[in-house]
Structures are given as structure tokens and as C-alpha cells.
Structure 1
Amino acid sequence: MADSDNYEVEDLLEDLADRHLITADEVPGRYRIHDLMRLFAREQAHTQESHQEIENNIHRLLEWHLQVLEAGGPSLHSWVRLEKDSLIAGVLAATTRGWNELSWRTANELAAYHSVESDYVDWITCNKAGLISARKCESLEGKSLMLGGLGQASRQLRKFSDAQSYLRESLQGFRDLGDVHRCAQILWEIGKTAASQWDIPQAISAFTESVEIAQSVGHPYDAARAFHALGHLYSGIGRHKESLEFFEKELEVTTRNDANPRYQGFTYQGMAACLASSSMSEQSLDAYDKSIAAAREGGDRESLRIRLTRKAKVLESMGRLTEAYSVHREAIETARVDRDASGLIWARHNLADTFVREGKMGDADSIFSQIIETGEVEGDPGALIGALHCWGDSYARRGETRRAIELLDKAIQASRDNEQEQNLIEISLCRSRVEENQGAYSTGLPYTLEAVSVARSYGSARILAKCLKRLGALLEKLEEEKDATESFEEQIRLEVLMQQWSEALISANKLSSLWEKLGDPSKAEKYAASASEYSAKSIARGSIFPEQIEK
């Protein structure tokens, strides 16, 4: 900014520090300036320098920002954290001044930092400014990069419609540029967004094309990432045999390319979850043990804690409670040793859930009370909401309705205050169920309606289908059969979209029965025919065989 070499600048800074006009920071090479001194310096600049000289100084500073970002280095992340506000302001200033390439290139370099730090709002701020600049200077590369970043950040913020729009335009830009590698990466993002919406056909199409491109250009880890996503997707729709095949392909790629244990650990974790969902508990335990060993070898402590907790749940499902409690406590101890406050709450919460399921309410109460009433969850609204929800649900199971309502209402309010949409949906359904169990169907209805309303904006077909199913059942109990059919018909459309044929079969039979009761035989026959179709598709999906998971 001073348009001088480093030695001269160091002398100037030391002289200012000696005069107590600036103060050396704890970080070597950085200085702090008092707000009043900053104001005085700004006034002097406008008095003593021309407008063009000031603009030249700013331009040199922003160019230096970009040079540092592009140079990289081991201390870059720490530097960006310290200078984040100035860097973001620099992107905006560059856009305002028409320094267009400087704007979008700086925004693009900052994207990696925003992603790692989960600074999605700042990411969107920078990339929107960068997009304006890229369009002004007619840079197709810049525009495609900015749109891709906006899509990624929007997906993380669960703004799925925005994400799809940005990503589709970004993909077209990279296709026009002939940049097939970036096409593969954007297709993966499109697949993840579609999967979050439970748009299964679009997700499968995007992930499959991503694999094909990654393999054709020799990027094995991009292919492995898409195989992993396909494994989770197929497991989620009950196609466990195909799911395992994709995880095996992922494992083959990572093994062939000498991947570090971290990669293989995630593959085994995906396999384990798939096997657990298909009631193959012993095989699931084996896969979890391999994923846990990989986490230990790679020093991935967070994944170690998560996998221990999930292994404990499999042991619990097998009735091996002593082992389950032991593994839960190892997860808790892992978080405690790492001083991972959020992880510690999560691990203890899962142990409390196990106590609830086993009827050990006193042990569960002790843990929930300690989590909530001792202030452990301060600054972690998600942990507070989760603990209130599960504790309230445990009281509902005991038939202690008043205490259940008290805790669940607190959880609902905290979810609203913190814009925790998925929690709000789940807790509202739980609150409605408490009323339904008392026979107060009309009192429970507003909670179910709120869950449906929030689910519509949330963007997940799976969650909305679940809410519609609950709404339809509740309307049926209230003898509002015509309204119930509307809810079930919307539900079945989503189940077909998600290729959830077993669920669609149940919904079709329900609708056939309701329309017959309402005196409309043509619609009853229509849904009976649909039930036959969904039954055939469900059977055709097949089963899973042990040889598929032999390694």
C-alpha cells in the first residue's frame, strides 16, 4: 500500500510503534491501530493525497491480498482468519470500483477458507460480488466459478432451489469452457443437492455422470467420492445390494491409489451403516471395527467418536447391552480427552438415549439433567434442543404428560428462535403425538400442520412425506377423510419420486381403502392398480446376499 519495499516499510512501522501510534500485535509482523488514530489517518489521507493516489493505494493493497492468497503456504489459513474482514471488504471494494478480475479471483481464492470454516454467509457475500464483476468483464471462467461457489454455499444453508439454479448455470459454463474436471465436481454438488431433496432420479444421474467424467480424465478420488455418494443414496432408498456394490467400488479405487486410512475409514463407515439398515448386524460390526481402526491409525479423533457411538447402537440392537454401554463410554472418554465440548454432549446424549430405550429412566434423567441444567449446552443451541427433545420424549413414554409438554415446548421455542428447521419439524411431530396419545386430536393438529409447513420450505422430500403421512393419519382420526386423501396423495407422489416402493405400496392401499369408503370406486381401483405396480417394483428390488460384502 505504501509502494515501498519490505525493509523501508518495517522501518516505518517500527518508528510508528516507538511513537506509540500503533501497537505490536501478539502475532509477529502485525500491528494494531486505535480507532481514533485510524480516523485521523483517514482524514490526513483525504487532505494530503489526491483521490487517484488513494485509489492507487487501495488497488495495491487488494492486489497484494490476491498475491498472498494465490501463493498459499502453511500459515495462510491463520492469516485469512485474522484478515477476514479486510479481505471480504476488499472483494466488495474491487467490485464497486470496477476492478472486476481482481474481485472474482480474490473471491474464488477465499472459497476454500469459507468452506473449511463453514462461513457460508460470507462465502455467498463474496461470490455474489465476484459474480457481478465476472459478468461485467465477460469472464465465463469467473462467472462459472462464482456460480459454483454460490451453489455449494446455498446447499450447505439448505437453500436447495437456489443451489440447483446456481449449479446448473455453473455446469453449463464449464461445459462451454470444455473444463470436464470441474464439470465432474459440479455434477457431484448437483447430486448432493438433489439427494438432500430426495429427488432420486436426478441425484443418480448427476453422480453417475460425475463418476464417468472423473474416470475418463484420471481423477480417481473424484470418482471415489461419487461412488460413496451413490452408496449412501442407494442405502437410503433400501437398495442395499447396489449400495454395497458402490462402496466396494469406492474401496477398490482408494486401495488401488494408496489412499490414506481416512478415505478407507469413511468407506467402511458407509458400508457399516448400510449393513445395519439391512439387519446384517454382525457384518455391520465388522465394518465399523475396520472404520474405527482406520480412524485410530489416521488420528481422526472426531470420526473415531462418531463411529464408536454408531457401533454402540448396533450392539444395542443385538441385545449386547454391556458391550454397547462400554463402547458409548469410550466415545465419551474420547471427546473428554480431546476437550471436544460439543462432541462430549453428543456422545453423552446418545448414551442417555440408550438408557431411555432400555427403560433405565433414572440413568437417562441424570445425564439429561447434567447436560441441560449445568449449562453444558451454553452456546450450542443444537445440543440444547436435542437434549430437551429427547428428554421430553422420554417423559412422554412414561406417561408423564405434563413434564413432557414442558420440555417439548421449550425445545420448540428454542428451535424457532435459532431457525433449526429440521429440529422444529421433528419436535412438532413429537408434540402432536403427545396430544394424540391423550385422545386430543384437534389439539395435536396445529403442531402437525406446522411441521408440514416448515417441511415444505425445508426442501427434503423424505421429511415432507413423513409429515404428510402423520397429517393424513391425524385427519383420518378426526373423520376428515377427504382432507386425509389429499395429504396421502401428496405423500405418495413424493414416495414415487424417491423410489420408495414399499412405502408407496402402503400409501396406495390406504388411498384405495379411503376412496372406497368415500364412495368413489374409480379412484379406489386406480390406487389398487398402483399398489400392484409398487408391489412388483418392491419385490423386483431384490435382497442382499452375504457374498456381496465379503472382502
Structure 2
Amino acid sequence: MLNSQQVRNDVSGVVVGNVIQARSVETVLPRPMPLAVSGLPRLPVFVGRENELSEVQRALTSYGDISGGSPLVVIAGLAGVGKTSTAVKAAQDLLAKGRFAGGSVMVDLHGYDVPEHRVPTGSALASLLSALGIPREHVPAQTADRERLWRTVLAEKAAAGQFLVVIIDNASSADQVRPLLPGTAAHGVLVTSRHSLVELDGARLVRLGVLPSVDAGLLLRRQLAVTNPRDERVRTRSDEADTIGRLCGGLPLAVRITAALLAADPDQPLSEMSATLADEHRRLDELNYDGSLAVRSAFDLSYRNLGEPEARLFRLLALNPSPEFGTGIAQVATGASGSARRLLDRLRRAHLVEPGSARGRWRMHDLVRLYARELVGGDEGGADAFNRIINYYSALCTTTDRLLTQAIQSPVGLLPDEVLDGLDVELPNIVGAVLGANEAGMDDVVLRTAKALHRYLDLRKRWDEWIVIDGVALAAARRVGDRHAESRILNHLGIAYRDVRRLDDAIDCHQRSLAHFRELDDRVGEAETLNYLAIALRKRGRFDEAIDLLDEAARIWRTTEDRLGSARVRNNLGLTCYAAGAHEDAIEHYRQAAELLKTVQDPQRMGKVLHNNGVACTALGRHEEAHALLTHALAIRRDLGDRHRQAKTLAALGRVQGLLGARADAAESYRQALDVFRTLGDRTREAQVRRDHLAMDTDDVVKPV
């Protein structure tokens, strides 16, 4: 028997499984396994992403220093946005720079596939260990043992200075990722996911958005050039390539599918492909290449991963009239009392919605929205949700109009900026809601909304939207047989046509409205319409006709003892006389209008009269008087928050200041006017102000705005 001092029982090195001790052992080593640590999938044509690549590479290589870099990076984004390509490109660039001497390994978890096709943790670990040269027969059977062996092997490589980049592709949850993370921070880890995976401790999140239209067009051109270098279509029609990139929503998967379709049909003009993709009803069907590449299939995988509350909200959000919406509309769509914000956050983490133009605003990618529309078609609650959404926007317009009316009629006359700004943001949804209500035969909603919007559209000078909305409302009024509403809408439409210089259309609208009001024996409506028609005729240069109509309107207002109506007519008589060159007569009409307005509360109208009088005094060389009038008008318009009319008064004031020799003040007034006209998109008046400012510098005389 051996004593204890004679027994040697030492074991060293990496041991997995049982240890067999014997006096004499003959060992046959397994055949060396080839390593796959230098192999990554072939990178497809890659365009752009310079900022994202830089952020990923910086995070992987600067951990531990004051920049707070992390060796764990999650690249998250919408299905088909190019997450895997970006991860592979980042890893390749780092390997080329010699930053990870141990190479790279990659595993695809298929996290968004059906559950039976997802890669189990044990299988993923076995694949990674095999890539590092561990023979299959030496890989433990139990997942926990595989995890320990994986981290042990990586620790040994780190000790030898063989740092790796590990790419974990298509992870749908943090639980899929955690068992695959190295036990040391020496190795870099890149995770790609359609979810943000913010619950992974220490992970740097890099969100991947869609490509700009220019980059999407460039990707299409390069993809086709690789397929067939002799393909001349994208070289001769690069503008069409950019259009296709825009219709693909900047989604790389959609661009690659389009490139494949074009390559398969070399005779197809790009214009034909653009026309096909422009049809929203066919777009998702077209973005499919033999089933192997399909945008709809990619979205299916994301959608199936949602819980039912998020999935229902996702479907119903497609009913919103435009791609962007506020948090409140999500609550309206579901009709539930639960937290819509919480559901939206989940959809955001799944990258099925994304942040919009401001805090509390959200948007859906165009292709995602088309996909959701397909799904909501089979939702039994879709019709009720649609009605709730349409009525929500209509109520918003009614509430805003009431606030604007109260503000204008108050002694202070201050318009709440946040109310106007709020409607500015929602205007695309409101226009869409009116069109949607029209298609659904909701004529009462169309008429109510159009009426409530008139004051706002006039203040903001949103002529294009005004013409669209009133055009729809006019048809609704005719369908329901409301002649009064039809007559009012014709006048509103005529005002919009007048402001966009479609004077013949404006005159036609007002003449038809006038005929209706006379048939209805509505004297107030008749007087208002005479006033509107006279303005259009004056702008057409038909001054005598305009004056005759205004005199007729004045007689009606006198019989009704309507001092505000009389003041409006006097103001327009002043404008007509001024346009005809009778400046003294114009000033007298403005004086009478101002006297009438002192007995009624209408600061907006008073601002108009003071402005017009100031312009007339300028023409007569009464510059000091003009300066006082315009300064008063500007103060009123600033109190009202009426930006467009503020800019008109600033432009007129700038001219007077220049004539008085206050050139620095004039330059500042012109600058402020330019800023407003540019912001509001009024290119005509913007150009006029530029000419006025230039004329001041060259001492020329230019007619004021």
C-alpha cells in the first residue's frame, strides 16, 4: 500500500467531464479543428452609415477610458434596415485595422422566427465553441456546462491577447443574449435586434434609421452595377433611382428587392418601376422577389413577436390619417383606459413606431404603415376606431376655433400661440381626417370641421390646405342640400383663390355665392359677399365695379345698423381708392373705418385699418404719421399673434424707416419680415421684401408690400 507522501493527485489545465487516473495512459490526440474566427458572411453592397459605424467602433475599442465606451453594443432598428450588414461592416473594418487580433465569430439566433425555428441557447453555444476550434465530442451536453466552457475559452484567449469580436445576430430578447456574453470585457460584442434591449446592463445602444433618399438611390445604383456593370439605366436616370429609393422609404431591404427585380428584367425602365411603387395598394406586393426577399415577410416576423395589446394598437394606428401622430391619438384609437404611452414604448422598442418631430409625437415608416393597413382590414374594431379618430380631430378644430374667437373678441385680443402651434403640427392629420370623413360619407363631420378651420387657415395663410378642405366641404354641402352652408363655403373658397392669385376662380365663387344669398333673401350674407367680390375685382383692376359693389354693401349694412360691417366696407373702399391712385380719398375712408371700430371690439380689424392707412400716408409723403400708424398696427398684430400680418406691417414699417433715414431700424424690420414670410412659405412677399430692402440701399422707389 502506498503512503500519503507517495500519492500524487495533481490535475491542471482546462478539464471538462470526468478525470481518470492511471499509472500509464496512452493518449491519441484528436485531429486539429480548423478555426472559423476569421470568417464573416460576405458583406453585400454597403452605402452610408458613416456616423453609426464610427459610434459602434468607438464603443467597442474605447471601453474603460473616460469616454465611457462599452464592449457591448446593441444595433437596433426596423426589420430590413440593415442591422446585420452594419454589424458585419463594423467588425470587418476593426479587423482590418488590427484592433481584434483573435478574429471574430458570429451566430444567428433567428429570434424573430416562429418559436420552433429559433436557435436554442445550447445550440448557439455549441456553434460558437465549434467556431473556436472545440471538437464537437468535447462540447458538454448540458447548456450550463457549455456556457462555462465558452467563457473559459474566451478568458484564455484574452489572457493570450487574442481578443475577439462576437456578433450575436437577430436576438429578440435580452435572455437570448446573456448566456452568450463573454465573462471578460476584453472581447467586443455586437448584438443586432429589432428591439432596443435596453435591459442589457452596460450595453451601448445604436439605433439604425432608414437611409436618406440620396443614399437609397446610390445603393440601388451600386447594387445594379454589381449585378450587371453594363446596365445603363441608373447611369442615365439617376433622378429616377433617387425616386425609387424614396418610394422604398430608405429601407435597404426594399431597395435590394427592387434592384433584384430590375436586374431580372433588364428592359424595364426605371420610370415604370417608380410608377408601380407609387401605387400604395401594390407597393408591398411588388417588394417581393420570388418569396426569398420580401418586405412583408420581414414585417411578419416582427408583428408575430408582439403581445396582443401592442398588436392591436399597431393595427389601429394605421387608421390615423398621416404617418405622424400624438400619444393622445393612440388612446383614442384603442378606446381603452389603459396607458397608451406604455404600449407605444413597447412598439418603439420593437421599432414598429419611432419618435416623431417632438416629444410626445410618433411616426410609422411608410412601408410599416402600409403593412399595418393590411392587418387592420380584418380587425372588427377598425370601423369604430376610425370614427373615434376622425371625431377627435374634428373636436380639436372646434375647440381651437372657440379659443381663437374668444381671444380675438377679448379686450386684450391675445391669440394663444400654443393653440395655433398645436394645430400647425396636426394639420396633415386634420386634412386627412376631412378627406377620410368625406370618403366615409360623414358629411356632418366634414362641414363642422371645415367651418371650424376657417379662422385658423386665414391666420396661418395655409392656402393649399384651405382649398382642399373647402373643396371637399362644398361637395358635402351640396349632398346634404344646405344652401346657406354652400354659399358660405363658396365665399371661403373664393378668399383662398384670391390669395393664391387665382382671381377668375375667386370672382366665380363669389358670384355664385351672391346669387345663392339673393335667392335665399339673406341680406347679411349678400352684403358680406358683395364685400368679398369687390376685393377680388379690385385685385383684378376693375376699380369702378368694385366701388359700386361696396356702395351697395354699405347701404345694406346701414339698414341693419351693423357698425362692424360698415367698417369693413369703409376699409375696402379705402383699399380700392388707394389702388386707383386716389390716396386722399383712401385715407378718409380709413379714418371713418377707425372711428366705427372704436365702438366695437375687433382688434384684428383695427390692425388692418391702421396698417392700410399707414401705407396710404407713406405714398403721400406723410412719413411721421405713417410711422405712428404702422407702429400701432404692429403692436396690435403682435398681441394677436398674427404672424403673417405682422410681417406685412414690418415690411411697410421698414420702408417708412428707410425714408426717415433710420436705415438700421429699417434693415431689422425687413429681416424680421423676411424670416416670417420664409417660414410661412409666402415666396411672393418674401421676394417683394428683398426688393424693397435692396431699393432702400440703392435709393430706388419700390411699392410697399
Shorter-chain TM band: 0.3 to 0.5
Greater helix share, 1 or 2? 1
* Structure in which a larger fraction of residues adopt strand: 2
